[in-house]
């Protein structure tokens, strides 16, 4: 059990942090005894309260001199290097120490120690020179700049904390963000912005298409950003455009539901704009007219029906929902009506989002949001691969967006070739295999059509995800699985008797993978399936919402062992 001492103002972020690092913990009781105490600042502990004290603070503490921790510098921002190979960005203040003693956490550039330790009277104290929970707050509230987009910073903070505990021979149990039977989750999504080129006549979208399909395609071939075959396809599409407008040729943008064929059983989520010709508003004034879509959900009812028949999902691509709850209710209701879905999630058009958006989306009745991401980069804006609850949310969950096609290929953004794009995304997949969680992709509706023709890259990424044993889930199922994980409760963990009880929510539909338990001891890590959803319940528990699972914590456990229900 981890005991936590933190300022009351930090308690909400502590609670959310330990939903992401799902391990037994509580705020310290005066007479409690804990395997580990995690303290921010000068925490007062009675003698014998713990065997391992982890003190985070970005300032000199009263106890530093007593433990011979000499602060030599105070810094703002930068990064620390962990084990000489992993960099963890910092966004607040930090301090460094004069004592090195083979320190494996140093400030990048200077090499000064950011961590030191002291042993006294049966207790080990480890001093870390930054404020953990303030760093987590920055990640979940403000997010990372694009320059640090590829760092899963929050997951690295969790990994460092886990390593400090296990590295000091203290056993640990954790429910990782990993669906049982898989390595991680892949959520495939599509923003439906331009489902028909026929609806764009003599506007900036049509002019942009003609330029990119002709001159732009030629430039991309010369720059080795596209193939000669792509050039021919785009020039052919440009020549066919007048016939498309006359109704004599097929509308080559009106086939976004081909994604269901490309993805096979990897069902995806399509975010649909509710109303046509509505540019939306800013908090002050109107948006420019070119932001308005030339379609509404009512114009693509047939395509929506085909998607639903293929077990895909439809969500809201919001216009004003990000700042106006009443407008959001209208937008959500239109999608519910067209899709026949009682619960709908949101991704805002152009990724509009600010500190007040959570309240507006909750007021509108959204199940989840999937807007937090980058327009101009790929990676972890919130520093995490996990679905999380924003700190000012009552119930809304955030499904972060990690990979967007336009960020990969647009000249104003990353401007990658197909091979470079696959390689860059593969690094994020490596992270997901390592840390678990979910990778969320956004491949726009017309990105498999001329003039973009990014379908082959998308197919390659799906193949890579399959080869890495990803669980493919719609946005709502991804959120439901993380809510299931959040609902699991550690009720009784006793290392002396070698057992733990965990109350597991039951998935009544059986559509979600089970949870796992990771048991860390000096013998290594052991993975156990928490098969609560498949346990045969007796008649008295037939209608229960969850079940209590008893886990053996003996070191001999291996991945093949299953658990028993009480």
CATH of the domain at 350: 3.20.20.370
* Residues 318, 411 share a domain: yes
What burial letters (b/e) apply to 371-380, b meaning 16+ CB within 10 Å? bbbbeebbbb
Taken as a whole, the chain contains a residue count of 566
What CATH number has the domain bearing residue 134?
Answer: 3.40.50.880
* Residues 269, 233 share a domain: no
CA 435, CA 378: separation in Å to the nearest integer?
A: 17
* Residues 239, 161 share a domain: no
Residue with tokens 């700042």: 323
pLDDT digits (tens), the chain, 566 positions: 899 999 999 999 999 999 999 999 999 988 788 999 999 987 777 676 788 999 999 998 888 877 778 888 899 999 999 998 899 999 999 999 986 667 899 999 888 999 998 887 778 999 999 999 999 999 999 999 999 999 999 999 999 999 999 999 999 999 999 999 999 999 999 999 999 999 999 899 999 999 999 999 999 999 999 999 999 999 999 999 999 999 999 999 999 999 999 999 999 999 999 999 999 988 888 888 888 999 999 999 999 999 999 999 999 999 999 999 999 999 999 999 999 988 789 999 999 999 999 999 999 999 999 999 999 999 999 999 999 999 999 999 999 999 999 999 999 999 999 999 999 999 999 999 999 999 999 999 999 999 999 999 999 999 999 999 999 999 999 999 999 999 999 887 776 667 778 888 777 667 899 999 998 887 788 888 887 544 443 333 444 567 777 777 764 444 333 333 33
Q: What are the angstrom distances between the C-alpha of 77 and each of 88, 90, 113, 135?
A: 11, 5, 15, 10
Neighbouring residues of 193: CB distance < 8 A, sequence distance ≥ 6: 273, 293, 317, 349, 444, 445, 446
Rg for the chain, CA atoms, rounded: 26
Number of domains in the chain: 4
* Half-sphere exposure for 440 (CA within 13 Å, toward CB): 30
Last residue of a domain, one of 480, 507, 526: 480
Dihedral angle, C-alpha 432, 435, 437, 443, nearest 10 °: -20
Angle between helices 325-339 and 357-364 (to 10 degrees): 50
* Residues 394, 519 share a domain: no
Smallest Cα–Cα separation from 360: which of 329, 322, 391, 327?
322
* Residues 442, 324 share a domain: yes
Where in the sequence is the domain holding 113, given as residue range(s)?
Answer: 2-174
* Residues 265, 234 share a domain: no
Are the beta carbons of 328 and 361 closer than 8 angstroms? yes
* Residues 100, 8 share a domain: yes
Q: Kind and range of the H or E element at 490?
A: strand 489-494
- Tell me whether residue 362 is in a domain: yes
Nearest 5 degrees, angle CA 531-CA 533-CA 538? 100
* Residues 164, 51 share a domain: yes
Q: What is the DSSP string of 499-536?
A: EEEEEEE--TT--SPPEEEEEEETTEEEEEEE-GGG--
The total of other beta-carbon atoms located within 10 Å of residue 391's CB is: 14
CA 248, CA 239: separation in Å to the nearest integer?
A: 13
Peptide bond into 482 cis (omega under 30): no
């Amino acid at each position: 059990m981890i005991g936590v001492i933190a300022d009351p103002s930090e308690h909400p972020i502590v609670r959310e942090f330990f939903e992401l690092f799902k391990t037994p913990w509580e705020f310290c009781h005066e007479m409690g005894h804990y395997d580990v105490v995690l303290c921010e600042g000068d925490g007062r502990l009675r003698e014998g309260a713990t065997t391992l004290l982890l003190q985070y603070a970005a300032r000199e503490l009263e106890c530093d001199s007593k433990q011979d921790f000499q602060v030599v510098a105070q810094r703002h921002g930068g990064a620390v290097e962990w084990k000489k190979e992993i960099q963890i960005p910092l966004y607040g203040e930090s301090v460094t120490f004069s004592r090195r003693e083979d320190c494996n956490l140093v400030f990048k550039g200077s090499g000064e120690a950011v961590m030191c330790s002291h042993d006294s009277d049966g207790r080990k104290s480890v001093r870390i020179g930054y404020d953990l929970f303030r760093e987590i707050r920055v990640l979940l509230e403000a997010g990372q700049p694009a320059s640090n987009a590829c760092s899963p910073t929050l997951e690295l903070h969790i990994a460092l904390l886990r390593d400090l505990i296990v590295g000091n021979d203290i056993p640990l149990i954790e429910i990782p963000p990993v669906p049982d039977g898989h390595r991680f989750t892949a959520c495939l999504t599509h923003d439906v912005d331009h489902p028909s080129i026929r609806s764009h006549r003599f506007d900036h979208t049509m002019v942009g298409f003609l330029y990119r399909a002709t001159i732009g395609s030629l430039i991309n071939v010369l720059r080795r950003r596209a193939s000669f075959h792509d050039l021919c396809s785009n020039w052919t599409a440009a020549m066919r455009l007048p016939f498309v407008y006359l109704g004599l040729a097929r509308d080559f943008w009106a086939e976004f539901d081909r994604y269901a064929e490309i993805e096979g059983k990897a069902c995806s989520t399509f975010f649909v704009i509710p109303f046509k010709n509505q540019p939306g508003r800013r908090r002050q004034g109107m948006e420019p007219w070119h932001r308005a879509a030339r379609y509404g959900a009512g114009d693509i009812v047939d395509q929506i029906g085909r998607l639903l028949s293929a077990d895909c999902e439809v969500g809201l691509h919001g216009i004003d929902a990000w700042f106006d709850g009443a407008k959001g209710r209208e937008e959500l209701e239109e999608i519910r009506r067209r899709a026949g879905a009682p619960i709908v999630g949101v991704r805002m058009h152009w990724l509009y989002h600010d500190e007040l958006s959570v309240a507006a989306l909750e007021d509108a009745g959204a199940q989840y949001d999937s807007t937090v991401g980058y327009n101009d980069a790929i990676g972890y804006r919130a520093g995490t691969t996990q679905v999380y609850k924003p700190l000012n949310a009552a119930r809304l969950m955030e499904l972060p967006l990690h990979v967007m096609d336009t960020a990969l290929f647009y000249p104003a953004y990353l401007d990658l070739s197909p091979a470079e794009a696959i390689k860059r995304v593969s690094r994020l997949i490596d992270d997901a295999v390592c840390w678990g969680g979910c990778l969320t992709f956004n491949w726009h509706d017309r990105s498999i059509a001329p003039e973009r023709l990014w379908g082959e890259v998308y197919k390659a990424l799906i193949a890579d995800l399959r080869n890495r044993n990803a669980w493919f889930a719609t946005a709502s199922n991804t959120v439901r699985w993380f809510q299931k994980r959040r609902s699991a409760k550690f009720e009784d963990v006793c290392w002396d008797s070698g057992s733990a009880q965990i109350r597991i929510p039951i998935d009544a539909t059986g559509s979600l993978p089970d949870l796992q338990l990771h048991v860390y001891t000096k013998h290594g890590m052991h993975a156990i399936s928490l098969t609560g959803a498949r346990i045969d319940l007796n008649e008295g528990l037939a209608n229960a919402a969850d079940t209590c699972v008893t886990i053996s914590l003996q070191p001999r456990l291996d991945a093949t062992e299953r658990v028993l229900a009480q």
